[in-house]
């Protein structure tokens, strides 16, 4: 990989990060290099602080009808996002712009048919020509690609690839595992039978966390992501996300407040714990016995999940919680107000289940022996770079 710079990019809701990716000493493994850059979207001229996304159901309907109509706000904000991405790449290449680059790019949202744009994005602008415009922008600075961006990957899938190929990844030495990553949004990944199975390939029998909603119409993303937990606390205590950010009150701080007896913080984690235990229980039962209808769907037009699938009867060796949600579970306050009650509730659900037989219950109980927290904070960027490299090697 010496003839080019391998770059993995993780695009989030508020910022974009890029890392140089290099081979690790272990066979078929990678790690982060020394070069790293992050740009927040608000730093880019033209950023719309009051941007309002098109309602998600409208986005899905337009996608279904192949009649996507971008708003002027979306076009402006899209240009900002792409400029931010170009800048982190420029920072990685630095003075060595004579060396070509290979870029892997992960972004949330549903992608275009060619995989190089984004057609549905819950909290941001739709960016139909993302890869085209990014490549054009970088060519103006004489930055050359060893290969065009083949596709914009799912940040969730890239978490799985990162966990599978990173030297410290928790997918590396197991055959069957599930990963739940909670950052600004929520990411799901799984490895079954020793193979990474993207959720998009398994969508007939299992749904992504953000697609699932409770009886009140709330997406599980609200309870499984750091961003969602912060918003939930704000709703309960009557404070905006902007106020909480200004006072630097994030999930770790909310957990500390709950531990000290703050009623609003305790209510927040009571709700988070109940929904997280239901979500993880749904993962366990859906894999073992098929969809049991424990949740509704955010997209009302989504087809129901099939009861039968190729992996029925499988048991997870590991349930991995990553990103800021993993940090929260590991923290001293998070262990008391979330992790311990979560495991207790999940153990009760498994014990009382009529869907899981004795074999499954003996495997999972106590659930603590199957729960892991990932220390691989940059799994999406790492996975993006690795995916680009593996695609290039196939050429």
Q: What is the pLDDT along the chain (395 residues), one digit of tens a residue?
A: 458 999 999 998 889 999 999 987 767 788 899 999 999 999 999 999 999 999 988 999 999 999 999 999 999 999 999 999 999 999 999 855 678 999 999 998 899 999 999 999 988 899 999 999 999 999 998 999 999 999 999 888 999 999 999 888 999 999 999 999 998 889 999 999 999 999 999 999 999 999 999 999 999 999 999 999 999 999 999 999 999 999 999 999 999 999 999 999 999 999 999 999 999 999 999 999 999 999 999 988 889 999 999 999 999 999 999 999 999 999 999 999 999 999 999 999 999 999 999 999 999 999 999 999 998 878 899 999 999 999 998 86
Burial, 309: exposed, middle or buried (Cβ in 10 Å; 0-12, 13-18, 19+)? middle
- The residues that bridge with 254 in the sheet, in sequence order, are none
Cβ neighbours of residue 281 under 8 Å, at least 6 residues apart? 294, 346, 349, 350, 353
Whole-number pLDDT of residue 96:
56
Provide the token pair at 210: 């953000």
Q: What stretch of H or E contains 178?
A: strand 177-182
Q: How many separate domains does the chain show?
A: 2
Q: How far apart are CA 316 and CA 367, in angstroms?
A: 11
Residues 133 and 197 in one domain: no
Do 13 and 97 belong together in one domain? Answer: yes
List the domain range (segments joined by +) for residue 19: 5-155+380-394
**CATH at residue 12:** 3.30.420.40
176 assigned to some structural domain: yes
Assess whether 146 and 188 both reside in one domain. Answer: no
Identify whether residues 149 and 180 lie together within a single domain.
Answer: no
End-to-end Cα spacing for the chain: 15
What is the DSSP pairing of strand 30-40 with strand 118-120?
unpaired
Residues 277 and 215 reside in one and the same domain: yes
pTM of the model: 0.88
User: Given this model, what pLDDT does residue 2 score?
Assistant: 59
Tokens describing residue 372? 């892991």
pLDDT at residue 26, as a whole number: 65
pLDDT of the residue at 77: 97
- For position 301, what pLDDT does the model report? 84
33 and 128 housed in the same domain: yes
Return the closest-CA partner of residue 137 out of 75, 74, 81, 71.
Answer: 81
Q: Is the domain of 389 the same as that of 369?
A: no
**pLDDT at site 245:** 93
Report the largest interatomic distance among the alpha carbons of the chain, rounded to a whole angstrom.
63
The helix/strand/coil state of 372 is strand
Say if 338 falls within a structural domain.
yes
The answer to whether the CB of 317 falls within 8 A of the CB of 174 is yes
What is d(CA 309, CA 132) in angstroms, rounded to the nearest whole number? 37
User: What pLDDT was estimated at residue 377?
Assistant: 76
**pLDDT for res 198:** 94
Q: Nearest Cα to 231, choosing from 213, 250, 257?
A: 250
- Closest to 319 (Cα-Cα) out of 149, 156, 133, 190: 190
Residue 165 lies in a domain: no
């Amino acid at each position: 990989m010496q003839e080019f710079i391998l770059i993995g990019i993780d695009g989030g809701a508020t910022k974009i990060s890029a890392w140089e990716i290099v081979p690790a000493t272990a066979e078929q493994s990678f790690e982060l290099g020394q070069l790293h850059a992050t740009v927040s979207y608000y730093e880019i001229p033209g950023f719309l602080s009051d941007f309002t996304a098109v309602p998600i159901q409208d986005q899905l309907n337009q996608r279904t009808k192949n009649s996507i109509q971008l708003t002027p706000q979306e076009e402006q904000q899209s240009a900002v996002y792409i400029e931010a991405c170009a800048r982190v790449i420029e920072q990685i290449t630095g003075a060595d712009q004579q060396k070509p680059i290979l870029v892997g790019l992960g972004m949330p949202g549903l992608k275009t048919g060619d995989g190089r744009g984004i057609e549905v994005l819950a909290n941001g602008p739709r960016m139909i020509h993302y890869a085209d415009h990014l490549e054009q922008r970088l060519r103006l600075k004489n930055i050359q690609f060893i290969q065009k961006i083949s596709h914009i990957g799912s940040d969730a899938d890239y978490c799985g690839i990162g966990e599978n190929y990173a030297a410290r990844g928790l997918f590396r030495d197991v055959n069957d595992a599930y990963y739940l990553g909670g950052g600004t949004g929520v990411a799901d990944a799984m490895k079954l039978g020793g193979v990474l199975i993207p959720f998009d390939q398994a969508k007939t029998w299992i749904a992504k966390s953000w697609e699932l909603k409770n009886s009140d119409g709330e997406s599980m993303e609200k309870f499984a992501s750091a961003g969602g937990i912060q918003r939930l606390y704000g709703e309960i205590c009557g404070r905006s996300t902007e106020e909480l950010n200004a006072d630097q009150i994030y999930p770790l701080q909310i957990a500390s407040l709950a531990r000290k007896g703050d009623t609003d913080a305790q209510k927040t984690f009571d709700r988070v714990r109940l929904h997280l235990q239901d979500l993880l229980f749904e993962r366990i039962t859906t894999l073992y016995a098929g969809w049991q209808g424990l949740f509704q769907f955010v997209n009302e037009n989504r087809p129901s999940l099939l009861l039968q699938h190729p992996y029925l009867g499988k048991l997870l060796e590991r349930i991995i919680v990553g990103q800021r949600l993993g940090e929260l579970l590991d923290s001293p306050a998070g262990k008391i107000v979330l992790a311990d009650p979560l495991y207790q509730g999940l153990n009760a659900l498994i014990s009382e289940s009529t869907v899981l037989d004795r074999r499954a219950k003996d495997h999972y109980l106590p659930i603590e022996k199957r729960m892991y927290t990932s220390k691989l904070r940059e799994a999406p960027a790492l996975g993006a770079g690795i995916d680009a490299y593996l695609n290039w090697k196939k050429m």
